[in-house]
Every structure is written in structure tokens, then in C-alpha cells.
Structure 1
Amino acid sequence: MVDRLSITNTQFLKSLLIAFLGVVASFVLWCLIVFLLCEKGFPTSTAAPARLYEIAGNHFRPLKFGDGGFQNASVVISGLKDGEAILEARVSVRAEQFPLISLETRGMHPGLDLVLFWRTDQNSGVTNQVELEVSQSGNYWYNLANDSNWKGLVTTVALGVYGDLREEPFLLEKMAFHSFSSSGIAASVWGQWTAFSGWSQRSINNLTTVFGGGSVNAAPVLASWALLGMALTAMLSWVFKAKIVLSCVIAGAVPWLVFDGMWQSSLNAQLHEIRLTYSGKSDEEKHLVAPDAVYYKYAKRLKDERLPSEPSRIFLLSKREGHDYERLKIQYYLLPHNIYNYGLIPPHQYVRSGDYLLLIGEHDPVYYNEEKGFIAWLRGITIPVEPVDYDQIGTLYKVVGDSVVH
């Protein structure tokens, strides 16, 4: 048994060489297959000659921004107005001939979102848009071939910048439109796989750009490369009398290491974003910059200014079915109050004077009769209340009597 598992240095080097040849050959074949599959998404642009339509950053006209200017051939945004800036340029681009777009930027980070807008000659009054993934390098390719609105003669393009600059200016150096090409396809797919959109409360369980992000999923594509590489390596090992198992293990490990590298890159970007957002802050400051800050501030204001200091019963009501994100967040931040998180209609038989009703979002068919001071539902249930707080998120009422069923 030991002799069967033992391997000499020569055998190992031979298996390593065979695995290397199998990986390289499978990579070339794999790229050709992926390219042919992606090519089907470009039925019109394949017949067009390879062309390029470039727009330098200083050709864009700022429509909305806080502060900025021009630096050489770039447009510089050093301040946002109400959290946004919009740059516009006049173009003449036949969309079907230029399905790929590339951006060269500086100062891009997960705290910013980019949106591409465009208008066509056929529908000049309609503005189309698509959100662009955030590239960690600042240079990004995007595939518009499958966007149903990317058609006709594009006459105007605009780039919207939203979020927080984080005291760093944003520079748009160049926007370019490209016809179909293998390098453009590869760049757009790689851009989807390596994009990072920042930390969210789902990030601990999911990195969408690595698993399921974009039009081509990285996991099955790299898995197919691994299987193809192992198959070719097994054939070469059989021809050259090398250790088949060892060679196949080495060949299969290469795509796995590439995939793991993508995963680690996303985790490192995520770690950097978390440190930048939360490091050195108190618990209060962390809540104020978290994704759910709007619900934290709302619940805190209710507890500090509207609700009694002693725990009270609060019936949290909403049209939304189930315990969705908004309702659960508000419920959590209202603790230690006693929260009853039901649907839209409370269990009226248990509602008593001194309780509170918190109606979240749209709450038709609930009707508040201000003159008579009660809330009514279509089922004939009325509860006497008095308004305590009005907010865009919800409305808080205090129960001042027993409910009535008509």
C-alpha cells in the first residue's frame, strides 16, 4: 500500500508538467467556448467593424454638482449637491454598433454609486438608465447588449454620481463606447466578477459578484474550466504514463485557487470598507452610519421624545405581509418597549387604553377620523386614539379608549 502511494521527485515533476499543459490547453479551449457563448448576445454588432467612440472627461457638462471643475482632460467633482452630481455630454452613437461601454475614473469607492443615463433620437423625452457596478480599480467595462432600451441613435449620455465622496474628489477621465470584441467581452465579464458594491447586512452570507453576479456566474464557469482541465490532464497523463490522480488534483486546484483569490479579494475590499465605516466610532456613531440608520434614528427619536420612559405596549402595523426588514428593524430599535408586530389590523380585543399604534408606510384601508378621534378599519373596527407623531416612515397614535366592533 505504501509503495502504491509513494512517488519520486521525477514522477512529481512529470505530473506537474502534465497538469500545467492540461490547465493551459483547457484554459484556451474554455475561453473559446465562453467567448462563443457570449457572442450570441451581440447579433447586430458582430457585423460592424471594430470601432471606438471616446468622450474625454472635459467634454462633459456638469448639470448638477456642489463643487468641481476641469483638470487636463478630466472633469473633477470635489463636492456633491444633495448627495449627487450629474455630468452630461452630447454624442452621436448608434447603440447596436457599440454594445460595450468603458469608464476610466479616479476616486471611486463603495461609498459612491454610478448611474448611466441616455436619450435617443426616437424618444428624446424619455431618459433611460442603468446602474453600474463599482470597480475596485476605477476602470470598468459594462455590457449593454442585453438592455432592451439600448437601441437607436443615442444623442445624449450622462453619468450620475451618488453617495459620499469621503473627502476625495471624483475624476471622470474618459467614457468610451466599443463595438463587439473578445477583449471587451472578457473585460466586461471580469468587471462583473470583481466589482464590489460595499458592505450590506447580507454580505456576511453572500458576495453576489462572486456567486451569481452579472450575466455570467463565476462559480459554474470556473467549475467547468476545472472539469475540462482535469479531463485533458487525465488524457495527457494516460498518454505520457504520468500519475493520473496527482496530475488531475493539481489541474483542478488551479481554477479553485483563482476562484478563491476572487473571493479573498472581495473579502479584503469588504474588510477595508468596514474599517473605513465603523473603526474608531462609538456604538451611537456606528448606528448612525449603518445601512439601517434611518430606522435607528426614527425609533430613537420616538423613544426620546414621544414614548414614556417606562416600557409600553406598541402594536406595529403595516400592509406588508410577514415580518419584513423595515418592520423588524423598527421593532428591534424600539426595545425595551413591548412590541406586537402584527399585520395591518391589530387584535382589537386586546388593545386597551394607554397602548400605542404605530402604522408603518402606506396603510390603506385604515382611516383616521380627526374630528371624532378614532381609527377605523373596513372590517368595522374602530379604536379611539390621539395622534402622537407624524413622520415619513410612520404615524404613532396613543389609544385613549376601548375598541368598538360595528
Structure 2
Amino acid sequence: MDSDALSSQMTISNREFIRSLGLALLMLSVSALVLGTGYLILSPELASHQENATRADPRPWTFSGGDLIPRLGSGKATEENYLSITRLDQGIDDRAIFTRRTNLKAADLPFLEYRITDRNPGSSFYLIWRRADSPEEVFNSTIHWADDHASVIQLSNNPDWQGTITEIGLDVYGDLRDQAPVVEYLKLAPSQQNLLARAIWNEWTVFREWTQRSAHHLRGTLETPILSPTLAMAAWAGLALLLLFFLARIKKQSGFVSYIIAVSIPWIALDMLWQSNLSKQLDETQYLFAGKTQSEKHLADWESDLYQYAQHLKKSVLPAPGVRIFLLNGEPHRTYKRLKLQYYLLPHNTFNFDQYPRPGSVQAEDYLITLGEIEGLKFNADTSRLAWSQHSLPVKRLDHGEHGSVYLYEGKR
């Protein structure tokens, strides 16, 4: 085959690819338009909002950050009447609370639009409220970190968002990291199609903390997400493929390349959502752990309190490695927390299996660690015995605190 013929075939192939790409993009556009419009028009969420609303035309309620009153921690109003959070109260949790009185119907205002700038992933924000039917109880909904963008969440997904709301505000935990987050506004809004669309987008794009499943699973930010991004991308590609199939039947030609493109673009879009969250997690991981020793990394990690407890036991309570340690917990199986404590106690020889001691297995000079409260397991300080069911062991309690207790079995008395 001469070079001119080869060039001609390549030119035809390039034209065919461009035609297939254009056709796939057109069908994907039609698919997105049909599915997006159809979902917003026929959305069960919007139908539920209309059914539950107490007024035909409720008005939105907008609170500037400066309207919130400090109840715990410190903040100041800016010139724009925004709230600048300057300090969290030190305690078991570093915390600040800002609220104001209200009188509104939750069913009329299913969406929250908010803008909070200068946040970081190390701080946790919650919308909090009280209801007329339960004035002493405080309810909450997570406000996820979304950089400095204005965002929307659907409050009606929270079963506690109901009745008459008498007080509303923000509960802030964590580490401000030498920043002063600025609450510009909170806006409670009635049901609207554009707010539902923004709430879905917010749910797909806000930062989600990395979990053991994150490498293979893109989850929503709510226990009951509005719309799964995986399902949405599958529907987007599926309808585009169906449209391409019918078009190919009408024109009596194959559209194989268009089919591949119509599947690849939604797949790549889904992967980009995952990659966006991964990039934010990489930045957060670098901030938390870069340049630190192994001990400092453990102290910066989620289970820092458990790590400090393990260090306390190793330095002040337990002898040198070589003794046997039985780790007990309220769950009969090995939960993540008890496995983590076992890891932190290395190189100690820790048996991590049961909810209660095994009387036939425990020997003199063995140690027992109870992680948290264990139902049915009681220590009698008067008799120095650890009792459960029909059994008991003579023990000496060596340590007792928030995370658990440590006992030494000295043998039969």
C-alpha cells in the first residue's frame, strides 16, 4: 500500500472518529437534558416538600452570620455583619456555639443555603436547632466543608427537621488552625428545583473524609443520599447508548465508536469526582503528617486519644513485654477500636477475642484490659473481684479511666 492510500485511509478514519465523537456528545447532551429535567420535574423529594408544606408560598429566612449570638467560644461581627469565629472553648472537645431565636416551620423550609469561608477540614460545623415540641433537646445536621463556595444541603433528609423551630445556630468543633472561619449567611429556603440541583451537586463534590472503602467506593455525604453519583452516571450513559442504538437502526449503520465514547465520558466524569476528593485528602494528609515522627503522626490521627491511652498503659501501668494481656470489649467480636488498641500495645502479647474473661484460660500474673463499659461485667472494690454471669475472678485494679480499666489476676485466693 503506497503512502497516499494510507494517508487517505487515515484521513477518513479521523473524520469518522470526529463524527462519532460529535454524535456521542450530542446524545450525551440530550440524555443529560432529558434525565436532569425529568428528575427535577418528577422528583419525589420536591413532591414530598409540597405535600408537607404548611403554607402555599412560604418565604425564605436569611440570617447573617453577625445575627448569631455566641453561647460558647468567641466570635465578632465584621463590617459586613458576618460572623468571624475567633476562638473555641477548650475542654473535652474544642467547641463554639452560636445561635439565635426563631419561629418557623421546618416543613416549609427544606433547604439550607450557606456560605462559610476560611474553613479547613480539621474543623467540624453542624447546623443545630431546637423544636417547640422538645425544647430541651438539641438536634443537628452536618455542614460539610466545601472550600469557600456557597453551598446547599437538603435538611428534609434529616428526620429531626420537623415541627416548629424555636432556635437555630452553629456548633463548631475541632481545630481552627490559626484561622478565623467567617460565617457570611445561613438561608433557610422553600422547595425549589434549582436548590435541589445544587444540593445534589454539593453532595457529590464536598470533601468526604477518607475511609477504608474510599479507594473503591464513592459515597454520598448523607446516610440517605439524595441521588447516588454512580447511579446518575449509569443512567446518563445508558440513555445515551439507547439513543445511539435507535439512531444506528434508523440509518442502518454501526455506531461502535460512539458507543465507547458514550460510556467513557460518564465513567471519566465519575472518576473525576473521586479524584477531586482524593486531591483534597492528599492536601489534608500532607498537612497532618508531613515531616512528623511516627509518634507525632499517631497524635495527629483520628484515634489520638486511644494512642495516648495505650502509651499511658505501656509507660505507667503494664510491665515490660512478656506478660499475657487479655483485651475485653462490650462486643463479642473484634471491633476496629479494640484492634487498634491491640496494635498500639505492641510488642505486648495481647489476646483480643472475647467479651468476658475465660476462667480456664486466665493464669496468675495475667492482665485484663476492659475497653469501655462491658454490660454484665462488674468490679467489686470491696472484695476485689471481677464478676460476670456465674463467674468471678480475684483481681487487683491497677488503672481506671475514661477508656477502660486494667486488672491484674494474682491467682486463686
TM score, norm. by length of structure 2: 0.89
Q: Answer yes or no: is 1:27 the counterpart of 2:32.
A: yes
**SS at 2:365's partner residue?**
coil
Q: Answer yes or no: is 1:276 the counterpart of 2:287.
A: yes
Give the letter aligned to residue 48 of structure 1: A
Give the letter aligned to residue 209 of structure 1: G
Q: Answer yes or no: is 1:387 the counterpart of 2:392.
A: no
Superposition pairs of residues 314-325 of structure 1, within 5 angstroms: 314-325=325-336
Aligned counterparts of 1:204 and 1:228: Cα–Cα separation in 2: 28
- Select 1:42's aligned residue among 11, 29, 49: 49
Aligned counterparts of 2:399 and 2:295: Cα–Cα separation in 1: 23
Moved more, 123-132 or 261-270: 123-132
Give the letter aligned to residue 64 of structure 1: L
Moved more, 130-139 or 382-391: 130-139
- Select 1:309's aligned residue among 305, 320, 328: 320
Sort the Cα spacing of 1:61 and 1:219 in 2 relative to 1 into closer, same or farther, 3 A. Answer: same
Q: Give the match for residue 399 of structure 1.
A: 409
Aligned counterparts of 1:49 and 1:249: Cα–Cα separation in 2: 47
- Select 1:350's aligned residue among 358, 361, 374: 361
Sort the Cα spacing of 1:242 and 1:165 in 2 relative to 1 into closer, same or farther, 3 A. Answer: farther
Sort the Cα spacing of 1:69 and 1:43 in 2 relative to 1 into closer, same or farther, 3 A. Answer: closer
Q: Give the match for residue 61 of structure 1.
A: 69
Deviation at 1:344, TM superposition (A): 2.7
* 1:316 and 1:357 in contact (8 A); partners too: yes
* 1:50 and 1:181 in contact (8 A); partners too: no
Give the letter aligned to residue 392 of structure 2: T
Superposition pairs of residues 215-294 of structure 1, within 5 angstroms: 215-239=226-250, 243-294=254-305
Aligned counterparts of 1:185 and 1:69: Cα–Cα separation in 2: 31
Deviation at 1:281, TM superposition (A): 0.7
**SS at 1:73's partner residue?**
coil
Percent of aligned pairs sharing the same letter: 29
Give the letter aligned to residue 254 of structure 1: I
Give the letter aligned to residue 75 of structure 1: L
Aligned counterparts of 1:170 and 1:331: Cα–Cα separation in 2: 38
- Select 1:74's aligned residue among 70, 78, 82: 82
Aligned counterparts of 1:331 and 1:355: Cα–Cα separation in 2: 16
Deviations 1:28-68 (A, max 9, x none): 00102221234333233788347432111111111111454
* 2:208 and 2:277 in contact (8 A); partners too: no
**SS at 1:104's partner residue?**
strand
**SS at 2:49's partner residue?**
coil
**SS at 1:8's partner residue?**
helix
* 2:125 and 2:143 in contact (8 A); partners too: yes
* 2:58 and 2:108 in contact (8 A); partners too: no
Deviations 1:121-175 (A, max 9, x none): 4444443322233323442211122333323332321111111111111110011
Moved more, 37-46 or 227-236: 37-46
Aligned counterparts of 2:158 and 2:13: Cα–Cα separation in 1: 56
Sort the Cα spacing of 1:12 and 1:138 in 2 relative to 1 into closer, same or farther, 3 A. Answer: closer
Q: Give the match for residue 154 of structure 1.
A: 165
Deviation at 1:106, TM superposition (A): 0.4
5+ unaligned residues in a row in structure 2: which ranges? 1-5
Q: Give the match for residue 139 of structure 1.
A: 150
Q: Give the match for residue 3 of structure 2.
A: none
Give the letter aligned to residue 185 of structure 1: L
Deviations 1:67-96 (A, max 9, x none): 544342210002111311111123343322
Q: Give the match for residue 111 of structure 2.
A: 100
* 2:117 and 2:149 in contact (8 A); partners too: yes
**SS at 2:379's partner residue?**
strand
Give the letter aligned to residue 173 of structure 1: E
Q: Give the match for residue 52 of structure 1.
A: 60
**SS at 1:359's partner residue?**
strand
Sort the Cα spacing of 1:42 and 1:276 in 2 relative to 1 into closer, same or farther, 3 A. Answer: same
* 2:115 and 2:148 in contact (8 A); partners too: no
5+ unaligned residues in a row in structure 1: which ranges? none
Deviation at 1:391, TM superposition (A): 1.4
- Select 2:208's aligned residue among 187, 197, 221: 197
* 2:72 and 2:95 in contact (8 A); partners too: yes
Give the letter aligned to residue 343 of structure 2: Y
* 1:61 and 1:87 in contact (8 A); partners too: yes
